[in-house]
Every structure is written in C-alpha cells, then in structure tokens.
Amino acid sequence: MIHALALILLCQLAGEALSRLFALPAPGPVLGMGLLFLLMLTVPRLGDFMRPTGEGILRHLSLLFVPAGVGVVGHLRQLGENGLALGVALVASTVLAIAAGVLTFVFVARLTGATGGDDA
Amino acid sequence: MRDFAEIWSYLAETPLIWLSATLIAYLAGDYLAQRAGRAPLVNPVLVAVVLLAALLWVTDTSYATYFEGAQFVHFLLGPATVALAVPLWLNWPTVRRAVLPIVAALLAGSGMAVLSALAIGHAMGLSPELLATLAPKGTTAPVALGISQNLGGSPTLTAVLVILTGMIGAVVITPMMNMMGIRDWRARGFAVGVAAHGIGTARAFQVNPQAGAFAGIGMGLNAMLTALLAPWALGLFQ
C-alpha cells in the first residue's frame, strides 16, 4: 500500500513539475493522473497493484472537499450581498451544463454508433 | 481536575481537534445520507460543512485555525485526483469506444458552464471581480483557485463557489437524469463530472461505478479546458 501511495505522490510531483516547467494550463494533479494512467496502460501488472489503494482513496472522495467547503464561513457577508445573483448563476449554469453535456453525449454516441454503456 | 476552558484553549490551538472534527462531521453526514437512502439532498459534504460552520461559530474559532487541522484532509485532494487514473484504467475499453461523444460533450458542457454562469452573473449585476471569481466554478478546487487568481478574482471565494457548484450538481443529477429519461451511465457520469467536478464524481461513484469512471474523466478534461476557456469567456463580459 505504501508503494502504491508513493507512486501516486511521485506522479503528482512529476505532474506539478511538468505543469510549472512548460507553463501548461493543466494543473499538476491532472497531469499526474494522465501519467499514472499511461504507466498502468503500459504495464498492466501495475494496474492490478494500484487498484486497492486507488479505490481506497476514492471511496471517500467527498470527505476531501469538506475543509474547502467550510471556507464559506469567511465569505458569508459577500455571499449575503450578492447571494441572489450568485445563487441563480450557480444553479442555472450547473443545470444547463449537465443538460448540454448529457444531451450532446447521447446524441453523438447515437450518431457515431458508439453505444455500449451498461444500459444504453 | 483542571478547568475545562483551560483544556479547551490548549486543544483548540492544536491541529488534532479540527482534524478529528472534520472526520466526525463527515461520518455524521455519511451516516445521515445512508439513513436517508442516499437521497440527493442529504449530501455528506453539505451536512459536514453545515455542522462544522456551526461549530466554528459557536466556539468563535477562525477559519485559519480550523484549516491548521483540516489541511491534512485538504491535501489529499491532489493524490485523489491522481488516483482517478485507476477507474479510468479499469474502464479504458469502454472509454476508448466513446472518444467522439466524450470530446463533444466536454465542449458543450464546459462551454455552457462558463458562458451561462457569466451571462447570468453579468445580467444580474455582479462586479467584474466577482465574475472572475465565478468563471472557474465548475472545475476541481485546486485548478479553479489558480484560474481565479490569474483572472483577478478572489481565490478563497472561488473555493466556496466550487464546493457549492459540486453540491448543486450532486443534488440535481439523479432526479434530473431520471426526469430526462437518460439511462446511459457513461453520459450521466461524464456530464456531472464536467459540470460538478469531484463532488459530482463522488456522487456518480455512489450511483454506478461506470458513471463514476466517466465522471472522473469529465472532471479531469474539464479542468484543462476551463483553464483555456475562462479567460476568453470573461473577456466577453468585461
């Protein structure tokens, strides 16, 4: 497990370094994800090895957002003053983005014959 | 026995107490979510944030003090993003066959998230600084903070908007998809990953593993695209 964790951290570190080095728009952890994925694709044995640790971290992914969420306490006044506009913008844009994404996905999947979801 | 206030003032200054409080608040949120049969509105993050915010208010603790302890949990966001490679690898055969829908849905979802948020915010009179703060709200937290800073927004407020967006996405996705009659788990997962990053992804994993894997991909791709898209979109409204 420590080996797997070390590899995850190394991928993140390499991602951060690449992101800074080439001033890429993608952040370190996202590049790290790509890096780890390529490693697992090249060495399938590595994939089976990483699986328990990776799934363990992701099982409680929601927990990791709690500290940033509590940051709301420092912005109550600002949120109060602009609450309506921010609230409407957040709710409407999220609903619209989900609708646009899902409809486009289904439409293009049908168009290109790329079906094959569990229940498609 | 020593005075309770004395012990409290000691404990309140150590990371231990706020780290423990974060985990316990989350467990309470997770327990309630389970009891509610994973009803979308009883989101574990939402419950934990409300409990902790109330606790900070009651004990008159600053967010900076709280974060001393909570930073250990916050730090794991990076490694968890890297770990999304695992479900991506497991679902790679399915993902490979869906490259075109993925690219098209990414452009549509990501573009819609940024443009509609800015258009509504602009129409409702938000200041240019708040628009810059709002623009990256659909991307995963560490990326959104960087984008917000580059655009001249307030990174800490962006973090809050990011979390709120995630919670909104996690709450609406299941009822919305059932209402729209969409049963393709790939499409459901991918759309919520693009629109509501990690919190949407966490929700997708609860509902269906394939949806979770596609949500993780959506979140990662959206982080890259928004970094390119947000400055351009903001230019349209400033």
Q: Please give the average per-residue pLDDT across B55-83, as a whole number.
A: 91
Which residues in chain A (6-45) have CB-CB distances under 8 A to chain B?
8-9, 11-12, 15, 25-30, 32-37, 40-41
Q: How far apart are CA B184 and CA A82, in angstroms?
A: 37
Taking the CA of residue B223 and the nearest CA in chain A, the distance in Å comes to 7
Average pLDDT over residues B52-61: 93
- Same domain assignment for residues B71 and B85: no
- Report chain A residues whose CB lies below 8 A from the CB of B99: 114
Mutate to test the interface with B, among A30, A107, A111, A115 (most CBs of B within 10 A): A30
* Same domain assignment for residues B69 and B86: no
**Chain pair A-B, CB pairs under 8 angstroms:** 343
Give the 3-state DSSP-derived string for A11-34, with helices as H, strands as E and coil as C. Answer: HHHHHHHHHHHCCCCCCHHHHHHH
When divided into structural domains, chain B yields a total of: 2
The reply to whether B98 and B197 lie within a common domain is yes
Q: How many Cβ atoms are within 10 Å of B154's Cβ, its own excluded?
A: 18
**What is the maximum span of chain A, computed from C-alpha positions, in angstroms?**
55
Q: Which of B71, B82, B162 sits opposite A33 (nearest CB)?
A: B82
B156 and B226 inside one domain: yes
Whole-number average pLDDT of chain A:
88
Q: State residue B169 phi and psi, 5-degree precision.
A: -60, -45
pLDDT band for B120, please (50, 70, 90 cuts).
Answer: very high
Nearest CA in chain A to B163: A69
Residue ending a domain, among B56, B75, B94, is B75
Q: Which of B84-88, B93-97, B207-211 has the highest mean pLDDT?
A: B207-211
Pair (B194, B126) in one structural domain: yes
Would you say residue B158 has pLDDT above 50? yes
Residues B102 and B212 reside in one and the same domain: yes
Percent of all residues in chain A with a pLDDT value above 90, rounded to a whole number:
54
CB < 8 Å to A47, chain B: 86, 89-90
Alpha carbon of B71: minimum distance to chain A alpha carbons (Å): 7
Across the interface, do A58 and B80 touch by the CB < 8 Å criterion? yes
What is the spatial distance between Cα B69 and Cα B48, in angstroms, rounded to a whole number?
15
d(CA A92, nearest CA chain B) in Å: 7
Last residue of a domain, one of B34, B59, B75: B75
B167 interaction partners in chain A (CB closer than 8 Å):
69
Residue A117 has pLDDT above 60, yes or no: no
The residue-averaged pLDDT of B47-59 equals: 93
Q: What percent of chain B has pLDDT over 70?
A: 99
Give the pLDDT score at B28.
96
**Under 8 Å between Cβ of B105 and A98:** no
Q: Look at B201 and A29 and tell me if their CB atoms are within 8 Å.
A: no
B165 and B210 part of one domain: yes
Confidence of residue B1 (pLDDT cuts 50, 70, 90): low
Q: Would you call B73 and A66 a contact, using CB atoms and an 8 Å cutoff?
A: yes
Indicate whether B12 and B68 sit together in one domain: yes
pLDDT at A119 over 60: no
The whole domain housing B215 covers 81-237
Report yes or no: A12 and B82 within 8 Å, Cβ to Cβ: yes
Arithmetic mean of pLDDT over chain B: 90
Which residue do the tokens 């006044």 mark?
A77
Q: Does B201 score more than 80 pLDDT?
A: yes
pLDDT of residue A116: 58
B35 and B108 inside one domain: no
pLDDT digits (tens, 9 = 90+) for A33-88: 889 999 999 998 998 899 999 988 888 888 998 998 898 888 888 888 898 999 99
CB-closest option in A65, A98, A115 to B192: A98
Which of B25, B42, B75 delimits the end of a domain?
Answer: B75
Mean pLDDT within B10-30? 90
Write out the two tokens for A100.
């646009």
A21 by Cβ neighbours in 10 Å (0-12 / 13-18 / 19+) ranks as exposed
CA distance A19 to chain B (A): 11
Domain match, B130 and B44 both: no
Residues from chain B that touch A36, judged by Cβ atoms under 8 A, are 82-83, 85-86
Q: pLDDT value at position A120?
A: 40
